[in-house]
Amino acid sequence: MLKITVQTEGDKTLLKLDGKITGPWVKELEGCWQMLRRVQGRQKMVVDLADVSFINPAGSQLLERMYQEGADLLGEGPLTRSIVEEIEGRIAAQGKVG
């Protein structure tokens, strides 16, 4: 299960995720992200992964796309911090931050 909480704070939108980014929850997160992009345009988006307990490869790929398109990824625990660092390193090596 994945709980997605959306908060607007000034000029940014915070997506606070709680649970697992796997299976049907990857599509759910992608749908939420796409809807927010349509509604809020280019407003800064921050994805808080502090309460995420598992991310499968499809979830990691989605987070990478979100990062490439300008979202900030916040990871606090060993799992999420490692995935965020991996994504940031891959994108930096490619020189493609949106």
Per-residue pLDDT for 97 more than 70?
no
**What's this model's pTM, rounded to 2 decimal places?**
0.89
Q: 3-class DSSP state for residue 67?
A: helix
Tell me the C-alpha distance between 88 and 73, whole Å: 9
Q: Can you list the domains of the chain with their CATH numbers?
A: 2-94 (3.30.750.24)
What distance in Å separates the CA atoms of residue 20 and residue 28, rounded to the nearest whole number? 11
Judge whether residue 98 has pLDDT over 70.
Answer: no
pLDDT at residue 92 in the model: 86
Q: What percent of the chain has pLDDT over 70?
A: 97
Predicted pLDDT at 33: 94
CB proximity list for 59: less than 8 A, separation 6 or greater: 21, 22, 25, 26, 29
For residue 49, give both structure tokens: 């992964």
Q: What is the pLDDT of residues 43-90, one digit of tens each?
A: 899 999 999 999 999 999 999 999 999 999 999 888 899 999 999 998
Model confidence band, residue 11 (pLDDT cutoffs 50, 70, 90) = confident
